[in-house]
Amino acid sequence: MYSQDNSQSQGLLRMKKPNLPVSKRSLFSWVRTSSLKLQGLLVVVIAITVFARVVPLEMQKRIVNEAIFLRKIDLLLTYCGIYLVAVLAASGLKFLINTLETIIGQRALADMRKDLYHHILTLPLNFFRKTQPGLVVNALVSELSTSGNFVGMAVAAPVTNILTLLAFASYLIWLNPLLGIISLSIYPIVVFIVPMVQRGANKANKKRVDTARNMSDKITESVSGIHEVHSNAAYHIENRKFDAIVNKLLKIRIVWSLYRFGVKVLNNFFVNLSPFLIFLLGGYLAMKGQLELGALVAFLSAQEKLYTPWKELIEFYQVYEDASVRYKRVMQYFDALPEHAIEAEDRETHDLAGPLNVKDLTFVTESGIRLLDGINLDLQAGEQLALVGFSGSGKSTLALCIGQLYKYNSGHVLLNNFEVSNLSKQDMVHNMGFVSQSPFIFTGTIEDNLMYSCLAQVNGDLQLDREQLPSLDDIIEVLQQTGIFVDVLRFGLNAVLEKTQHQNLIEVLIRIRENFQRDFGEALADYVEFFNENKYLYHSNVAENLTFGTSNNNTFETERLSENTYFQNFLDEADLKRPLLELGSELSRQTVDILGNLPADEVFFKQSPIMADELDDYKILVEQLKNKKLHQLNAEEQERLLHLALRFTPGIHKMVGLPQILERLILEGRSLFREKVTIDFPDDFSFYQLTDYIYNETILNNIFFGKTKTENPQAQEKINQSIIQLLIEEDVLETIVEIGLQFQVGSKGDRLSGGQRQKLAIARSFLKKPNLLIMDEATSALDNSSQARIQRLLETRWKGHATLIAVVHRLDIIKNFDKIAVLKAGKIVELGGYEDLIAKKGMLYELVHGKK
């Protein structure tokens, strides 16, 4: 009983948020939900401000009529003092009002953005097929910002300005009723005319929003299709399409702006008419002696003061119109509902371990294409089903319907007797693991991506639910099962350790280095270039070859050496400066020749001594070199060449050979450098030696006490085997894997291979231990042995524990599935065990053996 209450109160907590989807909310509702305390404070401040604005007027009149007329200095000082205080107060309060407006407006904007983003993420997959990412970006980033401004002004602007207007108007009437009424008579005309012009502006604004949306669609399209554009050199076609939209937008924006300025001009015109009336009438009355001169002055300046609040009121009106047009346009676009409840509020999550029954399942696309047609299928809990058929037969669609990613139109999918379309997302993710054809990997570490599914289950709170998350042992087990273990280990071995971390590990690594030299030194000598004081290192750069050590003085870092004066003097002394400049110029010439016109792609620049972002500088330098001799270059240009030469690594940068003379000079230089540095900087340098860890090198190079020569997969395999053995002996394998889990996978996982991305996605689902596992061609990018490994795992470890639906592309792995369904044109044409179907010599037989 108690626990039930508890869960109910949790439900109520969730209910606190308004149930109305954000896309249905009106612009004004954001004013209501903004901070009422702040709005109240704002009204109080405004009331004081209005008072502070009227005071100077009265003072003005009194100064003229009383102080000056009666020649009383003390009154003059008093009134001027009050005037000054009132003006100061009005300015200070205006600033306070602006601050409050900004806080309220920006908070509302932040809420709008968050709510809309949260809403958009839950929209059905179908919605995103029709929607370009650019449009969502544009809506969230730019279109909503005026709505935020509006919410900030919504209370302050009308209240301040209307109060001010009323105050001034009453003051005017109080001064002189006739003049007052005449000068105010202008405003009703303005109120009548301005909205007519504003309607034109609104119409143009709506078109502007739509066209801007087309433009962002177009940009997104060409960016994502850039391969096709380049390979067809279709620049003209794309330019024409884009230019047409921009021209349309140009026209719309001009019309829109003209209307907006039209409102301002009209307003100005009418408002300026009223002083004209006052001069005419007031002047006449003053001449006749029916009006005091002081009163006329006060009247004129009070009348002038009407202008500012009125102008602000009109501006507010324009902001309101603009904001409501944009707001409605944005919200209309996203006004769709999620197909499934995100979480059920009145019950616990269902346990869906049980049979799967599909009855008369039909899926029709919006355009009326029947992708699935009367599918019937029954699986016991823990049974494994393979879906096969040509592409377009509906096998992926079926898997997606079962996994609740598509909402089916008719028929039933029953999981443990629950109808899938009635279940919440929460129910599904607690029970299902889904691996898609091209899994998405998020920016972050390997670990972040592995934990993604598990974290999502506990609402993304890493701290709160640490105990519910898989342990390191679980993670390592899954890594091994999916075969990504070696890759992660490799990432760990390629990590560079920080000086302060892993003190214990470093001692062990030095020990492993000795064992490696003893056990594998000879066998792997072909793949590793060992550090040797008397040999040139072709896989290390020139700087490393010269210093042959590391420094804790950061002016001696490789990338900064070329600007280090001590080092430059050393190069002169070792007769190395000229030959290195020569090497640098040859490197820049060759590299610019090969890569000069290529885009900044990792593939092109991996083997280049010039980084992608430096290419333009070196292009200019190469132009210089055509007309100048090396000694004619200025200091900066020489430094740039030297910089490149010091990076030169013959084993990687193949465009230039290392002249033998230079090689000998550098070896000579190495010992000269050591002699000099030992005297001049005795504490700054540590030279490579077997007993010391080298901090700016990777773990692997530290174990080698050298560098790998090759990226060749067979060599890597041999190296892996020996290293793993050594790591196990010293019991640090897991530590290295832990370091590897922190590897940054790059944006969209672009630092991983296709196979690694797929293995990671499979591991991510396995880690969740789901009751239902759906794999949509999940192993298509894997090599044979990895695929076989995962297939074996499914057949042994998962059979009986999880119901498996696998969309299969390669038919060599389906023999051991409990059932095989062959799909054709959205229907199941054959269903049964492998042997039976093959014996039948029907569709499956044809698929496996080819059509005769």
Partner 1 sequence: MNSFTGKSDGGDTSEFQEDLNIFREIYFFAGLPLDMLKLLAYLSTRDTYKPGDVLFEQGDEDDRAYFIIAGQATLEDSTGGQTRPIRTYQQGDFIGGLALLGRVRRLFALKATTDLVCLSITREKFTKALEQFPENMPKIIKAIIERISAWDDRFLKESTSDHCEACRNNAGVSLL
Question: Contact residues for partner 1 (CB under 8 A)?
Answer: 227, 230-233, 526, 529, 538, 590, 593-595, 597-599, 601, 603-604, 607, 650-651, 654-657, 659-661, 709-712, 714-715, 783-784
Beta strands in 587-629 (DSSP E): none
Determine contact, residues 816/784, Cβ cutoff 8 Å. Answer: no
Mention every residue, 6+ apart, whose C-beta is less than 8 A from residue 473: none
- For residue 108, the minimal CB distance to partner 1 (Å) is 47
- For residue 541, the minimal CB distance to partner 1 (Å) is 15
- For residue 600, the minimal CB distance to partner 1 (Å) is 12
- For residue 115, the minimal CB distance to partner 1 (Å) is 42
Grouping H, G, I as helix, E, B as strand and the rest as coil, residue 10 is helix
Nearest 5°: phi and psi at 745? -85, -5
- For residue 752, the minimal CB distance to partner 1 (Å) is 13
Determine contact, residues 682/504, Cβ cutoff 8 Å. Answer: no
Nearest 5°: phi and psi at 732? -120, 10
- For residue 5, the minimal CB distance to partner 1 (Å) is 59
Whose Cβ is closer to partner 1: residue 391's or residue 691's? 391
The alpha carbon dihedral of 13, 19, 21, 22 has a sign of negative
- For residue 654, the minimal CB distance to partner 1 (Å) is 4
The token pair at 91 is: 């300015």
- For residue 586, the minimal CB distance to partner 1 (Å) is 9
Whose Cβ is closer to partner 1: residue 27's or residue 641's? 641
Mention every residue, 6+ apart, whose C-beta is less than 8 A from residue 463: none
The token pair at 653 is: 């940068």
- For residue 781, the minimal CB distance to partner 1 (Å) is 9
Mention every residue, 6+ apart, whose C-beta is less than 8 A from residue 535: 667
Strands 356-364 and 410-415: antiparallel
Whose Cβ is closer to partner 1: residue 663's or residue 738's? 663
Determine contact, residues 425/341, Cβ cutoff 8 Å. Answer: yes
**776 backbone φψ class: left, alpha, beta (φ>0; ψ -120 to 50):** beta
Strands 772-776 and 803-807: parallel
- For residue 726, the minimal CB distance to partner 1 (Å) is 22
Range list of H helices, 225-234: 226-232
* CA dist., res. 259 & res. 202, Å (int): 9
DSSP 323-347: HHHHHHHHHHHT----SS-SS-SSS
Whose Cβ is closer to partner 1: residue 81's or residue 657's? 657
Nearest 5°: phi and psi at 384? -120, 130
Whose Cβ is closer to partner 1: residue 161's or residue 787's? 787
Whose Cβ is closer to partner 1: residue 230's or residue 240's? 230
- For residue 715, the minimal CB distance to partner 1 (Å) is 8
Whose Cβ is closer to partner 1: residue 47's or residue 611's? 611
Whose Cβ is closer to partner 1: residue 598's or residue 620's? 598
Determine contact, residues 757/436, Cβ cutoff 8 Å. Answer: no
Whose Cβ is closer to partner 1: residue 241's or residue 539's? 539
Query: Which amino acid is it at 455?
Result: L
- For residue 797, the minimal CB distance to partner 1 (Å) is 24
Mention every residue, 6+ apart, whose C-beta is less than 8 A from residue 612: 600, 601, 604, 605
Beta strands in 506-563 (DSSP E): 528-530, 549-551
Closest by Cα among 661, 635, 664, 659 to 648? 659
Whose Cβ is closer to partner 1: residue 668's or residue 783's? 783
Determine contact, residues 822/385, Cβ cutoff 8 Å. Answer: no
Whose Cβ is closer to partner 1: residue 417's or residue 660's? 660
Whose Cβ is closer to partner 1: residue 342's or residue 594's? 594
Whose Cβ is closer to partner 1: residue 598's or residue 728's? 598
- For residue 17, the minimal CB distance to partner 1 (Å) is 48
Whose Cβ is closer to partner 1: residue 131's or residue 787's? 787
Quote the crossing angle between the two packed helices 784-793 and 472-482, to the nearest 10°. Answer: 120
Rounded to the nearest 5 percent, the helix, strand and coil shares of the chain are: 65, 10, 25
* CA dist., res. 144 & res. 23, Å (int): 12
Whose Cβ is closer to partner 1: residue 225's or residue 657's? 657
Determine contact, residues 307/391, Cβ cutoff 8 Å. Answer: no
| Strand arrangement of the beta sheet that strand 384-388 belongs to | 432-435, 772-776, 803-807, 384-388, 819-824, 827-832
Determine contact, residues 795/781, Cβ cutoff 8 Å. Answer: no
Strands 685-687 and 410-415: unpaired
- For residue 395, the minimal CB distance to partner 1 (Å) is 20
- For residue 117, the minimal CB distance to partner 1 (Å) is 35
Query: Which amino acid is it at 76?
Result: L
Whose Cβ is closer to partner 1: residue 212's or residue 615's? 615
* CA dist., res. 794 & res. 804, Å (int): 9
The token pair at 377 is: 């299928």
Whose Cβ is closer to partner 1: residue 267's or residue 701's? 701
- For residue 714, the minimal CB distance to partner 1 (Å) is 6
* CA dist., res. 209 & res. 201, Å (int): 12
* CA dist., res. 738 & res. 491, Å (int): 10
- For residue 486, the minimal CB distance to partner 1 (Å) is 17
